[in-house]
Amino acid sequence: MQPHIIAVDLDGTLLDDNKNISLRNRAALAKVRELGHKVVIATGRPYRASEVYYKELFLDSPMVNFNGAFTHHPKDPSGFQTSHSPLDKGTAHSVIETCEAFRVQNIMVEVMDEYYLRYKNKGFAGAFTLGQSPVEYGNLAEILKVDPTSILVHPEDSNYRQLRDLLEDAHAEVIDQRSWGAPWNVIEIVKKGLSKAVGLKKISDYYGIPKERVIAFGDEDNDLEMLDYAGCGVAMANAIDELKSVSNEQTVTNEEDGVAAFLEDRFNI
């Protein structure tokens, strides 16, 4: 069989609800790698919050972070052309001001693997800091002096939809926004035109593997373009309906080892 790329989202897809990779999923990915296929992580997370899974799977491939804003090769940074496409600083300030008007629970501004916080130790932030302290926290419009990789916003649940609509109306020409879904309902904002599919195409070109031989797994709206790009887009049973509508196939939930279940059947492992 010719080599394939197996692209996996993390949260809600490869990871169970406790944020772990099951033994079955780990074994299935190891077996497809033994067959000569390439396993690639494609996530909205920064590298610092996905590195542990990259190492746990013993990967030696490029990966997609920040929903396509940062595509890189942790093991071969000189051999793979790293791509970093940050937001314009002025746009970021405008987005932050919009969010401040809604008195959101917290805002995290990512600059590669450093970050800035609006409020320390509040809302979703603890889940993604991994013990690393912010460069600064406080008034982000004053603190932020560089173009950020992405902005994570944790609104009040009652204002979630209204804030997304307002951001779309005010900044649609320069930003793309994604939902992280439960349990935080976090909104991630990146530069317009970026997606996991953009990063995955760079990796496909690097390996010389056409999209017809790309299998991608996902569950949320930040996986839409990736599943649409892949020759075989696989939606988890726990995926949003919109993702299922663009997928080629579906598998069981992340809690039922859906990635492994599909790969075991597809590759007879």
Q: Which residues are catalytic?
A: 9
Identity (one letter) of the amino acid at 164?
A: R
Contact yes or no for 147/181 (Cβ under 8 A): no
Do residues 199 and 41 make contact, with C-beta atoms less than 8 angstroms apart?
no
69: which 2 tokens?
A: 């804003």
Which residues lie below 8 Å from residue 242, measured CB to CB, with a gap of 6+?
221, 224
Query: Cα–Cα distance between 158 and 247 in angstroms, integer?
Result: 30
How many Å apart are CA 129 and CA 245, to the nearest integer?
34
Instruction: Give dist(CA 63, CA 74) in Å, integer.
Output: 8
